[in-house]
Chains A and B, each alone.
Chain A
Amino acid sequence: MGISVEGANKCFGDFQALKDVNIEVPTGSLTALLGPSGSGKSTLLRAIAGLESLDSGRVLIEGEDVGRKPTQKREVGFVFQHYAAFKHMTVYENVGFGLKIRKWEKAKISQRVHDLLDLVQLPGLADRYPSQLSGGQRQRMALARALAVEPQVLLLDEPFGALDAKVRKDLRTWLRNLHDEMHVTTIFVTHDQEEAMDVAGQLVVMNEGRVEQSGSADELYEHPANEFVMSFVGEVNRLGDHFVRPHDMEVVLDPDERTQEGLVQRIVTLGFEVRVELVLSDGTEVWAQLTRNELQRLELREGQIAYLRPIQAKSFNGGSPSISPGASTPLGTQDGGDAGIPAAV
């Protein structure tokens, strides 16, 4: 195992940031720690680096318990959200910092720094200061700096959080490619589920200091363990005890025993995707994801009545398929929590 955390607990005063956290990150993998702010994901990452001490529990890097090792001996590369660039040093000095501390020869440092600057696509910027770089360039410099010392593990704390949308997307792809080349065990903290699914092979979903579920993006999306994971990984509508993905909501114009009536409040066209927002008779607000073609076929307009038919829904009541009273036909029954949605009266 590349990185294992066993039974980790951490309190900041009255606030419990980590509650009995266990994770396993295989050697050479790229894993995302995904969760809302305050879920403990950054604390966990910092504990692995030794920047935060655990109240109890163990951190193992390549099988070795690093609990007693200070940060500087853990051989971790760490990338901060706000770059943590050494402002008084040039790009060259920043990237070479760890090598200088390790007393490498000047010629070897120069060789390695220039190789790394090529790798992170910053050739020719060695003599600039961080203040002369863009946000994306600074973060790539920070990544080169972390990689310079050939760390056993690479830890990225919301690395693209401070960048604008376009740069974020580019860097995402770039990071994935870089990992394919380097194969260093990497953990990547983010609150953005799309980013996590795009970059990482494995996801660990955290909430309120706990690990809710871990697995591949498909596993989490198709078989969420609970309500939190279902609503955090992907969009979801709530209908009573049931959860329905917006793309599993069929909009029709003729009612039958399985449909629910709704008033179309807003139609938002996002390119090919169309978002239809409806309010049900009991006041519940839901939305359905349609394609442009479907919308044109239905000729939907804001303010009109339409009928919703959930194709597939899930409920998390004790893990058994649950059908509400008055329901007619259950729809999907793939696994434990899947159930049909009751029809409207």
Chain B
Amino acid sequence: MTGTTSSRWGLRVLGLGYVFILLMLPLAFIFYKTFEDGIAPPFEAITSPDGLHALKLTLISVAVAVPLNTVFGIGCALLLVRHRARGSALIDAVINLPFAISPVVIGLSLFLLYGKDGWFEPGLAEAGIEVLFSTPGIILACVFVSLPFVVRETVPVLQEIGTEQEQAASTLGANAWQTFWRITLPAIRWGVAYGVVLTTARVLGEFGAVSVVSGSISGQTQTLPLFVSKQYENFNLPGAFGASVLLAMLALTTLLAMNLLKRKEDA
């Protein structure tokens, strides 16, 4: 018995140690460094015009990319699971591309499409829309990199709930739209919610693709992660740490909000 007990303890220490050193310690260290000289230096860095602009741009990206990918993700999952047709295997595989390709490469591909001499450039220029080095490009990059999350989280839940509840609703007189809102969506809501949280976290933190398409111009096309990087390069450590903590807090808040909602419902 002592053998099993000690090996169980060993496993526990190993697991906790791994999580602590790789996850908790760096995060805790940032918090520590940020508030080392009190709250004033990081607060000033974040509330500087460039800092506030970066925060605003990041929140705008979240506000546009997350709803877009949520609607697309639910629709795509329904298509994949409920209307298994020719081509859905291809869609299923292609959906994963943003996970497989490095964000920098994604940024570059957008650059080639929308940039000077790109395929879409003439039409867009005529319409007076600037994609690169401006907000639309940043949002485009964010949508691209965070596209698979809602689909991936929703597909297994849809498969698990099956079609019987939906069929029962239709025998009771519900049309397709009513069935979706009253039966399907409530049944898959936690899968979708988890996908939304992951999407939000990804959009908040996206660096590679955004840095290529935005040009990272302070006060204009700089999102929070780019702001952190710039502050760090300029040896403004309180600014870099402050913005990092703000980013972490935003992501944690979404996660916490979901957990609170879930707990409230389970109670």
Binding site for B on A (CB under 8 A): 49, 51, 70-74, 76-78, 80, 82, 84-88, 97-98, 101-102, 142, 145-146, 148-149
Contacts and interface: CB of A to CB of B under 8 A. Distances in A.
A149 B172 contact: yes
Contact of B171 (A71, A86, A102): A71
B178 A80 contact: no
A70 to B, nearest CB: 7
B52 interface: no
Contacts of A97: 169, 172, 174, 182
B168 A86 contact: yes
B172 A145 contact: yes
A47 to B, nearest CB: 13
Given A86-B183, A88-B186, A88-B187, A101 B167 contact: no
B164 A71 contact: no
A80 B186 contact: no
Contact of B172 (A82, A88, A98): A98
A72 B175 contact: yes
A82 B170 contact: no
A72 B168 contact: no
A101 B165 contact: no
A73 B172 CA distance: 9
B173 A98 contact: yes
A116 to B, nearest CB: 13
A145 B168 CA distance: 10
A101 B164 contact: no
Contacts, number: 59
A71 B170 contact: yes
Contacts of B187: 87-88
A84 B178 contact: no
Nearest to B265: A88
Contacts of B174: 72, 97-98, 101
5 contacts: A51-B170, A70-B170, A72-B171, A88-B187, A148-B172
B183 A101 contact: no
Contacts of B165: 84-87
A120 to B, nearest CB: 16
Contacts of B178: 101
A71 B167 contact: yes
Contact of B164 (A70, A80, A98): A80
Residue among A72, A74, A148 with the highest chain B CB neighbour number at 10 A:
A72
Contacts of B182: 97
A102 B172 CA distance: 9
Contacts of A76: 171
Contacts of B168: 78, 80, 84, 86, 142, 145
Nearest to A77: B171
A318 to B, nearest CB: 45
A131 to B, nearest CB: 12
Given A87-B187, A88-B186, A101-B178, A51 B173 contact: no
A88 B183 CA distance: 8
A39 B169 CA distance: 26
B185 to A, nearest CB: 10
A84 B170 contact: no
B204 to A, nearest CB: 30
B154 to A, nearest CB: 16
A101 B172 contact: yes
B86 to A, nearest CB: 15
Contacts of B186: 88
Contacts of B167: 51, 71, 78, 80, 84
Given A74-B171, A145-B168, A148-B172, 6 more contacts: A72-B174, A84-B164, A86-B165, A87-B187, A97-B172, A98-B172
Given A88-B187, A101-B178, A72 B173 contact: yes
B72 to A, nearest CB: 24
A339 to B, nearest CB: 48
Given A88-B186, A88-B187, A101-B178, A72 B164 contact: no
A102 B173 CA distance: 8
Nearest to A93: B182
Nearest to A98: B172
Residue among A49, A70, A76, A98 with the highest chain B CB neighbour number at 10 A:
A98
A71 B168 CA distance: 10
Contacts of A102: 173
B42 to A, nearest CB: 43
Nearest to B161: A87
A209 B8 CA distance: 58
A84 B170 CA distance: 12
Interface in B76-112: none
